Each structure stands twice: as structure tokens, then as C-alpha cells.
Amino acid sequence: MAAVYPLIFAALLFSVGVYGLLSRRHAVLVLMSIELMLAAVTVNLVTFWAIAGDALLTGQVFALFVMAIGAAEIGVGLAIIMLIYRNRASVNIDDADLMKY
């Protein structure tokens, strides 16, 4: 079962992303961690498509979707971070608690 390798790879990749998401304080690094998680999902999608293999190429299509969304998300996310940096001279996400109760 060759499929187990990409799946393990994806799981590791996702775990790294989760770790980064929860532990990093630098906003850009958090964004990059999210990208890692998205990449892991993409790998999974392609892998499962390769196993199930339907004619509509669902896995491939979704992989493209995820990439597009990831790009958009990075764009918006970085823009927000830039604004926060401009206003507060910090990209530490602990400082960005404007939505606190």
C-alpha cells in the first residue's frame, strides 16, 4: 500500500502546522503554519483521489480550490497583519486582542 506514505507525510505536515499555529507568536509564522495545514489537506485530497479515482477528478479539483483559497487567505491575512503592524508596531498576535469581550 503505497498510499500510506503520502498519508503519513500529510499527517506529519498537518501536525507541524498545528504546532506552529498554536505555539508561534509571530503573526506571519502563524499564517505560514496555516498554509502548512492546507498543504497537508491538499496532499490528502490528491491521495484519496488516487485510491478512489472517480472520473470527475474531485480530489484534483479540490486541491486546486484549496490552493486558490490559500492564496487569497494569505493575501487578506498579510494585509491585516500589515495594518496591525502599522498601527501597533508589533506583529505579536498576543497583542492583537481587540476582539476581547
Partner 1 sequence: MSSVAWLIPALPAASAVVIVALGRKMPVGGAEIGILSLATAFVLSLVLAVEVFGANVAATTSGVGEAFLHTARVELAPIGAGDSLFAGIRIDGLTVMMFLLVTFVSLMVHVYSLGYLHGDERFTWYYAVLSFFSAAMLLLVVSDNLMLLLVGWELVGVSSFLLIGFWWELKANSDAAIKAFLTTKLGDVGLVVGVVALWGQFGTFDIAAITAMVGDGVQAGGAPLDTGLLSFALIAFVLGVVGKSAQFPLHTWLPDAMAGPTPVSALIHAATMVTAGVFLVARLYPLYSAAPAAQATLAVIGAITLLMAGLLALVQEDIKKVLAYSTVSQLGYMVAALAFSYTAGIFHLFTHGFFKALLFLGAGSIIHAAHSNNLRDMGGLAKVMPTTFATFLVGTLALMAVPPLAGFWSKDEILVEAAAAGGYTGSLVLVVGALGGALTVLYMTRVLYLTFAGSFRGEGHPHESPRSMTGPLVALAVPAALIGLVNLPVEAFQPYAFSAWTMFSLEYWQTHPIAFEPAIAAVAVGLALAGFLAGWALYRALPLGDDDPARRLGPVSTVLAEKYYLDRLWTDLVTRTIVRDTAAPAAVTLNDEVIDRAVAGAGRATVATGRRVYDDVDQRGIDGVLHGLATSTWWSGARLRLSQSGNVQLYAGAMLTGVVVLAIVFAVGEVS
Q: Which residues bind partner 1 (CB under 8 A)?
A: 18, 21-23, 30, 93-94, 96-101
Among residues 91, 100, 73, 70, the alpha carbon closest in space to that of 25 is found at 91
> How far from the centroid of its chain's Cα atoms is residue 20's Cα?
11
Closer of 57 and 88 to partner 1 (Cβ): 88
Cell of residue 45, nine digits: 485530497
Which one, 55 or 101, has the nearer CB to partner 1?
A: 101
**In the complex, least distance from residue 100 CB atom to partner 1, rounded to whole angstroms:** 3
Rounded to a whole number of angstroms, the minimum distance from the CB of residue 95 to partner 1 is: 10
CB 56 → partner 1: shortest distance, Å?
26
